[in-house]
Every structure is written in C-alpha cells, then in structure tokens.
Structure 1
C-alpha cells in the first residue's frame, strides 16, 4: 500500500512537469494561433492600402503574397529548431537566441540578440505611435461629426502616448508570456474586429463610388526618384506586416507535448498566415479600390472615412485594445531576457531575485519584484519618449520591416536549419534556400533605405 501511494505521488509529480523539469506547458493550437495573430495583425494592416497605392494593382498583391510565402517558409524551418539536435526529442531551446547560440555559436548569437531586441523595442515604439494616432482619430472623428469635415480639428498626440505608457507600466506586472493567453485572445478578437470594419467601410465606399479606383502601376509622382523612394517604403511597410519568427520559438515554448511542438507550431503558422493574408488582401485592396492614389497612410485614422463616425470610433477603440496586448507580446521577450541575465549575473541579490507580496484595496494580492518593476517601468518610459520624438507612422513601420525581415526572419532561420538538418553545401535544398535568402535580403535593403529616407524627409519639413 505504501509502495502504491509512493508510486502514485511520483506519477502525479512527473505529470505536473515537462521533460526539462519546468511546470507542464499547457498551450495548444488555438493559443498559438491567438499569440501569432496578436503579434502579426497589428498596426501594419492599417498601412496596406497606402502601400498598395504605391505599388499598384499588379505589384501590391504580388508583394503581399510574396511576403506571406517567405514567412511560411521561414516559420516552418524555424519551428524545427526548437529542439536540438533532434527536432522532436532533442533539448529545448527556450527562445530564438537560445536556438542561435546552440546552432550557430556565440559570435552570431550577439548579432542576433542585438537585432531581435532592437526589432522588438522599435515595434513597441511603433505601437505607442499607433495608439496615440487612434486616440487622436477618435477625437477628430467626433469633432468632424459636430463641426463639419472642413473644421480645423487638430489634436496633439503626446498626452495620449503618455497615457498609453502608464497603462503599459501596469500591464508589465504580468510575469511572462505563459500567463498572457487571455490577453492574446482578447487582442486577436480586437484585430479581427477593426479589420472587418476597415474592410466593410472599403467595400461600402467602392459601392458608393460606383467604380474601382487605382491603377496598375500605382501613384504617379513628379519624378522617377520620388516614385522609387515611395515604392521602397511601401515594400518596407509590407515586409513589417508579416514576419513573427523572432517570437516564434517563445510561442512554441508554451505548447504542450505530445503532439510534438514543431508539428503543432507548423499547423498554427499555416492557419495564422492564411487568415492574415486573407485580411491583408481584403483590407489593402478594398482600401485602395475605395481611395485610389489618395489612400491614407493609416486606413482608419487618415480620414478617408468620415461617417458613420461612431463606427470609426469603435474601430479605433479595437485598435487601442489590441495594441495594449500587442505591446506586451513584443515586450515580454525583452523582459524575460533581462530577468534571466540579471538572475545569472547576480544570483545572491535580493533586489534582483526576491519577490514581495503586495495587497492593494479592492485588488487580489500579488507579488512584485523590485528589479522587474524598475526595469520594465524604465523600458516603457523609453519607448514612450522615443515615440514622442519620432511620431512617423509609415516610415517607422518601414524601418522595422528592414530591421527584422531578412536578418531575423530569413537569414538566421535558414542558417540554423542548415546546421540542424545537416544540409550539405551545394545540394539542391542548400542552393534553393540560399537563393531564397538573397532575394529576401534585396527586399529588406529596399524597404530600409526607402523608409529611412522618408524619416529624414519628414524631419526636414
């Protein structure tokens, strides 16, 4: 009897932990899709009508589908790098950086780590800008409704950025990505909501106009150089709208097993990319069809749509709620990296490792770590401050696309896959993946250069 009880206790204990000794992961296909959609369908969807207007009816959809294909390939090969050396039974790599370290060595780990943290950081800045833009759009929408479309309804964005920062300081008390499934589900619902609203308004405007606006080659400019810069910037915006590989392994680390994590992640990626591409094509193409060359940089805040004003307000509220969750999805890997590094560097520090229980009126008790509080608060303040200094929506998105598309979404996953799967040089698969990587490198350079030129142009105005 004693032996049976002992065996039962041991079995229950092992069932509560995974093969690496960590608490049992409970994520599944649905939660992975929610995390991905929250990370992918964000502020980028709102700039797609403008991007397609620069590329035209031929180049716009081709660019979208090409980015979708590239993201599908990179997510598939990266999901096989979660465990090493075997993608099913090997040792877990808890993060993107862990996978780079195991497969590619220390030197390239520093480069990948810097680029990943920079990309996540600048994405957080973009979300601060977008949230302020949406809050300002709500105020302007109500003003236009009351005073008329020609009224001088002008509102600053700095106050709204500060308010968003205060909300994010509170949200940063969420310990880690494993505790954020509920937030991702809410954010994903919000992203569908405002995407549907934007799509519906675009369709209704096309019907009202009685014709499809736009041209095969896009916006006509005074000179060729101006057209090239805008095409490059549009490519950068589109490339920003898709890739999530710098978060893929962190999301994969939340999945239960069996089935194997890479199998679930590949299914989640296919579903998410298919849903995303459908929404992107619909929102971008109907936005362009509605406004043609006059498509605004941000579909729901650029005021191509004025009425019904209450629907515009609802769409922007959905954007704001989504970005509250999206900001945390992109910030949590930075928080986790800082926590791990400081815990390893200062294992005996009470400031870094001790948790204090806090009880506030009307709220349940929670634990707070002083290092986390100080670091995360400083992080939010810095992103808010940078957003105030550089409030350029489309240009920031393009620079982001340049930072993360080729290096993080293509180059490192391809290089890790070569090592993981022991693919020899000059084999058929090696050649095809090299060509794929180089083509994506050219896209990244075009997007980065065009968007950086746009920021300089805006700053000099």
Structure 2
C-alpha cells in the first residue's frame, strides 16, 4: 500500500492530491445526496403501501418516521467516524469495515464484514428480482391490453433475470465507484419517476372516489386473514420499512468521493439530512396514497400488482423507470463488494499478472482496459446472484429479510459503539444507557422482522417449485 501511495505522489503535484496521496476528490453535498437517494429510493419504496396496509395508519406512519429519525442520528455518527481518531484531521477510513476496526477492534471488524457484504450481495439478488418483476409486468400489461383483463397472462421471470444478469456482467467491468456518477444520477431521477407515477395513480383512484376502506390498525382479522397470519405480515412489514431506510453498506464509499474542505463529516451530515428527509417525504407519500387507494387489498408492489393495468402507457413508463433504476443501483451496491475482494487479492498476490495486468482494448472510438481477474470473478458473482434470484423470486419477503438483516447491526449497533469509543463515553453514564437502550430496542425489532420474513419465504417455497415461479 505504501508503494502505491508513493507512485501516486510522484505522478501528481501536491495541489492535485489529497492528504492521503490520492488524486483530489471532487464530490460535494449534492453528489453525496444523489448517491444516497439512488440507493435508498429503490425497490423498497414499492412495498411501502403494503407495509402501511398491514400496520395501519397510526403504526405505519409512526414506524416510518421513527426509523427515519433514528437513521439520521446514526448516519451522522457514522459520518463522524470517517476519520480516526479525529473526525476532521484524523486518518481516513475508506470502508465501513476499516472504521469498525479502528474504533472497535478485530473481532467486530470481522462481524461487520460478514453483515455488510452479505447484505450487499443480498440486495443485488433483490434488485434482480425487482427488475425482472417489472419486465414481466410490462409483458403482462401488453397481454392484458391486447386480450382483455380476463386473459391468462402469467409469465416466468427467469428469461428476464438472465437478460438482466448478462447486462450486469458487462456493467460490472466498470473499474470503480468513482466512475458511477452518471449512472447514479440517471438512477436517482428514474427512482423519483416510478415513485411519483405510483403515487399519482394511487391519488387518481382516491380522487375518483374508488378508494378502498382503510383502518387505523391495518388489515382486519377475518375469514381471509387469521390472527397468526396478521402477526407474521406485520413483522414482514417492519422489515420492508427497515430496508427502505438503509444505505449503510455504501456510506463510506459515498464519503470517499467528497472533497476534503469543508470536512467530509460536515458535508455528509448535510447530505444525510437532505437524503433521508427527501426519502421520508416520498415514502410517506407513496405508502399513504397506495394504502388509501387499495385498503386491505393493497398489492405487495403497487406498480405490478392488481389494479394498475390502466392507464397502459403510464404504468408501462413506471416499470421502465424501475428497470433503469435497478440497473444503476445494482452497480452502486455491487462495486464495494468488487473493491474489497480485489483489494484482498492485490494484498495476497502482489506480483500476480493475472490479478494486476490490464489489457487495453479499443472498439471504434471507445477505449477500455480488461483485467482477467476482474472479468472472471465479477462474472461469477453476477451469475450466482442471478441463480439465487431465480430460485427465490419472492418480492416482499426477500426485501423484508434484507431490511431486517442489516438494520440493527449496520444502522444502529456499530454507529453507537463507534461513537461511544470515539467520544470516550463512560460506561453506565446516562448517555451510555440511553444509547444502549436504543440499540437493544432496534435489535428486537430486527429479530422480529427477520423471523416474519423467513416465515413468509418458507411458506412460498412450499407453494412453488424451484425455478418454476410465474408472475
């Protein structure tokens, strides 16, 4: 690593490099906010109407605002730990794992890595499911539009997942996170597109007077819903909302794009506030309007569920926006996995030409490099994510599991423990007790949501044969 740093310094003047010897970063609050929105306003927003329908108006809105408030607080703690030991002049932590190692030690470092990169890999599976679901939805739209709403229009997701996977193999050859600003910007714009289309269609149903009856306490227990099923669905809904608040897996990748003046932590605090506030307003809008439109019959995905096959062109446009967003967001979340594996390979085999050598290529006016290790390992990763998605294409339950899996450890536990270490907060002091109580409550919420989502996945697997699911 020192050798690499020396080379960088020789190639650039002092005015062109940051304090760590790397080429000057140029990101700002606006670009960081864009990255946050790209990651956060993702597949999870489509399930929020369903989540509110399970929890009801009171609990649904309260849970969403509470999760967002906790997220703003803890993401600001994460931002303060970007440098060690001082948040302004300390040494940079390029990854979440490095920060955990610096503040909490080796055991926590390993635990963090397992959670963080396991969740990132899981989200790529979730995005594959989401994108294929929207592709199938477009095909169903065409089918219903041509043949009427009584026609049989069920199709397998598998061909669309394969196509999405092939395209991601090509995009995965982008060398690093810094090259993704354009993709991230386009993805952020389209995320607003489908969220607003879903909200607009829901609003049209409500204004037309065709909205369904809603309840302060969500779907009612009755002939079609037992008390046990109600509880399981409430727990799954918590996981859906938890996923919607999550970008901890890439927070330091975003911070590492920020210019060093003003301090990165100051800029990131503003980006956290802007990003999460925007996210919360959009989530409340989508979730509330969706529930008001469909009541107890709110579909798991408001753009692909029953009732959204007209107006034809608008629904199709919404699903196209989802597809474009998933393409970009997949790469924003996969790049940190690619980087950590490639950094490890570079350290273990520093002399290997297979790992290090770049082969320049040119197609017309396009010039690019091919690295054999990058080509092979990233291709294998995308193939594995695609196969898992084909085996378990259950939208709500899989997204809820991802939310439950990452919420407590990444958004609450590690930030609080790093903050306690950084500020030297005394054990059993009032602030220490309040922080630990917050962590404990969020732990129980995550466990409950995970149990609910696993129960839902297990029920679905018994109903459908592997790789034979049709939407």
TM-score, shorter chain, exceeding 0.5 = yes
Indicate the TM-score class for this superposition, using the shorter chain for normalisation. over 0.9
The 5-angstrom pairing of residues 31-430 of structure 1 reads: 31-209=31-209, 213-221=213-221, 222-360=225-363, 362-430=364-432
> For residues 81 and 70 of structure 2, what CA distance do their matches in structure 1 show?
17
Aligned partners of 1:29 and 1:168: how far apart in 2?
Answer: 28
Structure 1: distance between partners of 2:345 and 2:460: 39
Q: Distance in 1 between matches of 2:382 and 2:403?
A: 22
Deviation at 1:54, TM superposition (A): 0.4
Partner of residue 5, structure 1: none
Aligned-partner SS, 2:360: strand
Measured after TM superposition, the shift of residue 262 of structure 1 is 0.3
1:34-89 Cα distance to aligned partner (Å, 9 max, x none)? 11001100000000011111001111111111110111111010100000000000
Under a length normalisation based on structure 2, what TM-score does the superposition of the two structures give?
0.94
Question: Residue 96 of structure 1 contacts residue 246 of structure 1 at CA under 8 Å; is this kept in 2?
Answer: yes
- 1:426 is displaced (CA, Å) by 1.8
Helix, strand or coil at the partner of 1:454? helix
Number of the residue aligned with 1:6: none
Deviation at 1:247, TM superposition (A): 1.3
| Matched-pair contact (CA < 8 Å) for 2:354–2:373 | yes
Deviations 1:196-254 (CA, angstroms, capped at 9, x unpaired): 11111010010112556311111123422111111001111111111212211111011
Q: Specify whether residues 211 and 346 from structure 1 end up closer, same or farther in structure 2 by C-alpha distance, changes over 3 A only.
A: closer
Q: Is the 8 A contact 1:97 1:112 kept in 2?
A: yes
Unpaired runs of at least 5, structure 1: 1-8
Matched residue SS, 1:406: helix
CA contact (8 A) 2:53 2:298 kept: yes
Q: CA deviation at 1:430?
A: 1.2
- Corresponding residue number in structure 1 for 2:439: 437
Does the Cα contact within 8 Å between 2:117 and 2:249 map onto a contact in 1? Answer: no
User: Larger deviation: 267-276 or 137-146?
Assistant: 137-146
Structure-2 separation of matches of 1:102 and 1:319: 38
Give the deviation of 1:303 after TM superposition: 2.8
Task: Please list the CA deviations of residues 1-24 of structure 1 after superposition, one character each: whole Å capped at 9, or x if unmatched.
Answer: xxxxxxxx9998111100000111
Which shows bigger deviation, 344-353 or 239-248? Answer: 239-248
Counterparts of 1:107 and 1:61, CA distance in 2: 37
Length, aligned pairs only: 452
Q: TM-score, normalised by structure 1?
A: 0.96
Q: Is the Cα contact below 8 Å between 2:33 and 2:274 reproduced in 1?
A: yes
Structure 2 unaligned segments of length 5 or more: list them. 1-8, 464-471
1:6-45 to 2 correspondences below 5 Å: 13-45=13-45
Q: Does the residue aligned with 1:359 lie in a helix, a strand or coil? A: strand
- Is contact 2:176–2:339 with CA below 8 Å preserved after alignment? yes
**Which portions of structure 1, spanning 4 or more consecutive aligned residues, are displaced by more than 4 angstroms?**
9-12
Q: Is the 8 A contact 1:335 1:376 kept in 2?
A: yes
Q: What is the distance in 2 between the residues matched to 1:149 and 1:34? A: 39
Question: Structure 1 329/10 Cα, relative in aligned 2: closer, same or farther at 3 Å?
Answer: closer
> 2 CA distance for matches of 1:320 and 1:187?
9
Cα shift readout 1:127-182 (whole Å, capped 9, x = no counterpart): 00000000000011111111111111111100000000011011111111111111
Cα distance in 1 for partners of 2:419, 2:343 equals 26
